[in-house]
Amino acid sequence: MQNNPIGIFDSGVGGTSIFKEIHQLLPNESLIYLADSKNAPYGTKSKEEIISLSVKNTELLIKMKCKLIVVACNTATTNAISHLRANYQLPFIGIEPAIKPAALQSQSKSIGILATKGTLSSELFHKTTNLYSQNITVVEQTGTGIVELIENGALHSPELKSLLKSYMQPMIDAQIDYLVLGCTHYPYLIPILKTILPENVTIIDSGLAVARQTKAVLNLHDLEKTISNSPEIIFYTNGKTDVITALTEAKYPVKFLNF
């Protein structure tokens, strides 16, 4: 099992931001990435639909002999990971918005959260927010339209920058000093967000924390690959292969798979 790949899935290309952190921390590990772009975004779907899609992705990765699965999607984690853990034997790593460090470190006592509707409306998100947001102003913003633009290769479009400006203005008005990114697509927005937000605003995403947790769980289950031969890395998408190729700088093979 140690030489088997780690599986990663997301509702599209966003989880490639998580892939990069995992690959950097665990360079010997083989990785299989599933981009379910055909069904993106998950954030607008019902909990039942999100669970069904997550099960489909999980079973495909199990067929590919993955030893551990990273649910590189905030919406899938908050809505489906409990179901996955209850129904499958292998370990799962989830991702959720990094509200805790933002709330604990904020000096202005005002933080912003940019996330999908599916994440912001989930029970897990509300529990976490209520736990850490005492005496803190939390400005929530649903990132409507962002995932679709990134999936269509419009990351650097004027339309996306205009959308982000409108989403950030209420947060700027509330004098946030931390912005929590609650979707794995959103780290690709950081260069644009830095041109919009005041310099004192710290932007937090969960990528490195997920990579560290992946390493910890591999060690816990004695699954970490110890042989330092060339790992196999492959991306599968049921959407546009060129979008992943661009985001990963054409370093790895990207294949179309109708799943």
Task: Give catalytic residue positions.
Answer: 73, 183
* Residues 6 or more apart in contact with residue 127 via CB below 8 angstroms: none
| 110: its two tokens | 């005002």
Asked if residue 211 lies in contact with residue 184, where contact means CB atoms within 8 angstroms, the answer is no
**Residue 206 to residue 15: CA distance in whole angstroms:** 11
The residue whose two tokens read 């937000």 is: 197
Asked if residue 186 lies in contact with residue 194, where contact means CB atoms within 8 angstroms, the answer is no
| 35: its two tokens | 């981009």
Asked if residue 145 lies in contact with residue 165, where contact means CB atoms within 8 angstroms, the answer is no
The C-alpha R_g of the chain, in whole angstroms, comes to 18
* Nearest CA-CA partner of 228 in 27, 68, 67, 65: 27
